[in-house]
Amino acid sequence: MNRTHVVERAYQLARSPDCLNTGDVVKALSGEGYSGAEISHFQGSSIRADLNRICKLPKPDTAANADAEPASNAA
């Protein structure tokens, strides 16, 4: 079985609207079946800071939904 490497998957999750911080990313990885040993990659301050930075970026889906709501309410 080919599974996405834990670090690559963490960055994918960080870009998703479901993860607001590194803790959310780690919880999601654990829920997807990644082991504690794999998740231990995220104990380092540099990678945690990078994931947190990405989590806080505006999400494309969120921005699109925010733009769509006022337009649909105006109609």
| Residue 1 falls inside a structural domain | no
CA dist 48 and 1 (Å) reads: 28
**Angle of helix 45-55 versus helix 22-31 axis, rounded to 10:** 100
In total, how many domains does the chain have?
1
pLDDT band at 73 (very low <50, low <70, confident <90, very high): very low
CA dist 34 and 4 (Å) reads: 10
Higher pLDDT, 51 or 41: 51
**For range 49-55, the mean pLDDT:** 97
Which structural domain, as residue segments, surrounds residue 31? 6-74
